[in-house]
Amino acid sequence: MTAFGLIFSNIHDKSIPELTRRRTMASIPFGCRYRLIDFALSNMVNAEISKVGVIVHDNYQSLLDHLGNGKDWDLARRSGGIKILPPFITAYDGGEASKLYATRLQALMGVMSFIEHATEDYVVLSDCDSICNLDMSDLLLKHAESGADITFVTKKEYLTEEKAQTRKFFESKDGRITRVYNEPKRISGEFDVCLNIMVMKTSLLYNLLVDAMAKGYKSFTSDIIANNIETMNFGTYEFNGFYATVGSMEEYFECNMKLLDSDVRKALFDIPERAIYTKVRNSPPTKYSTGATIKNSLIADGCEIEGTVENCIIFRGTKISKNSVVKNCILMQDTYVGANVRLNCVIADKNVVIKDDRELSGHPTIPFYLNKGVTI
């Protein structure tokens, strides 16, 4: 049984416009040294999937810089490896045809040639908004045994009315999906929440796309899943490990803060047979000066800490100067914090400079965000 992977890098960019103004959802920094795509890529590599297509849309320079030739995921190969799949537009397209894709189905239609020439039996499709350590080998095995046409990875979760409006979830019976909800209003309860990971036969995906193009379909969920729920077998694979979804700035802040819990870190990063890989950088160890105070924080290498850090996620190359107090913050790569600064619930993007004697505060539900490269 062979499989290849397809990763959607831009599908959810509009969920966090602040962080995706200059990058894709896939390349959003996470947890001191990772990018969101690292989880989808690592899950596939750990299942011995050696060919992965990354479907891109725009703003993907930082993603290319991060992925390189794929060697950090053992995907620098002559056959297979990482394939960047940009939107396919010819010089003769015009009007509506020249617009970039807006939905998952349109994105798949744009890479039909890649799918058509794939020789693998199965295809695993994954978004980049879900953070989890998934055993995709077991997923593929259970899918083949079940006889389902498409198997969706789900997790039982209680949804409030507010969260239900940002989720895709199902009702199921005996492992078969019986009803699909796509961001409904005024509904709450326990449902099978979709992690936006699915597996199917490569031939089935290609045939579905050919049919969708002929009928002018635009939505994978509404036009394919919902329309065929009676005639096709859509199954579920229940995931019982830790997962988090990044669907807003509040959820991004919450997901990072959850890493301060040792049980969450173990569930994501301490599974020997399923490591999470990322781009390796040769940075010096972090320097902690005399008088520095660190409490319950994750700090990457290459930093210089002279002040107080509490409940924080600190990325590479960050400097926190003397007499500064940084609490409940996410400081991305190469952030500079001057002396006598007070920060609380702040998200600083890369290369931010916070001068001496500044005081900034947000709230866990509305963190104070500093855009990439700003000086304040």
Alpha-carbon 252 to chain mean position: 10
Q: Do the Cβ atoms of 135 and 141 come closer than 8 Å?
A: no
SS3 at position 40: helix
Q: What is the pLDDT of residue 99?
A: 55
What is the pairing mode between strands 51-55 and 150-159? unpaired
Q: What is the pLDDT of residue 283?
A: 87
Element (H, E) at 212: helix 202-215
Nearest to 249 by CA among 363, 159, 350: 363
Query: CB-based burial of residue 4 (10 Å sphere; 0-12 exposed, 13-18 middle, 19+ buried)?
Result: buried
Angle between helices 37-46 and 136-146 (to 10 degrees): 60
Report pLDDT digits (tens) over 329-373: 999 999 999 999 999 999 999 999 999 999 999 999 999 999 999
Dist CA 371 CA 376 (whole Å): 10
> According to the 3-state scheme, what is the secondary structure of 86-137?
CCCCCCCCCHHHHCCCCCHHHHHHHCHHHHHCCCCCEEEEECCCEEECCCHH
Nearest to 314 by CA among 336, 338, 330: 330
- Give the mean pLDDT of 200-221: 93
Report pLDDT digits (tens) over 236-261: 999 999 999 888 899 999 999 999 99
DSSP string, 53-66: EEE--S--HHHHHH
Better-scored residue on pLDDT, 329 or 229: 329
pLDDT-based confidence at 210, cuts 50/70/90?
Answer: very high
- Give the mean pLDDT of 83-100: 60
Nearest to 136 by CA among 233, 265, 279, 5: 5
Cα three-residue angle 111-29-257, rounded to 5 degrees: 125
The sign of the CA dihedral 110, 1, 134, 231 is positive
Q: What is the pLDDT of residue 133?
A: 96
Q: Is the pLDDT of residue 100 over 80?
A: no
Report pLDDT digits (tens) over 121-150: 999 999 998 899 999 999 999 999 999 999
Q: What is the pLDDT of residue 151?
A: 95
Q: What is the pLDDT of residue 159?
A: 74
Q: Which two tokens stand for residue 135?
A: 């055993």
Cα three-residue angle 107-222-193, rounded to 5 degrees: 90
Query: CB-based burial of residue 17 (10 Å sphere; 0-12 exposed, 13-18 middle, 19+ buried)?
Result: exposed
pLDDT-based confidence at 281, cuts 50/70/90?
Answer: confident
Q: Is the pLDDT of residue 98 over 50?
A: no
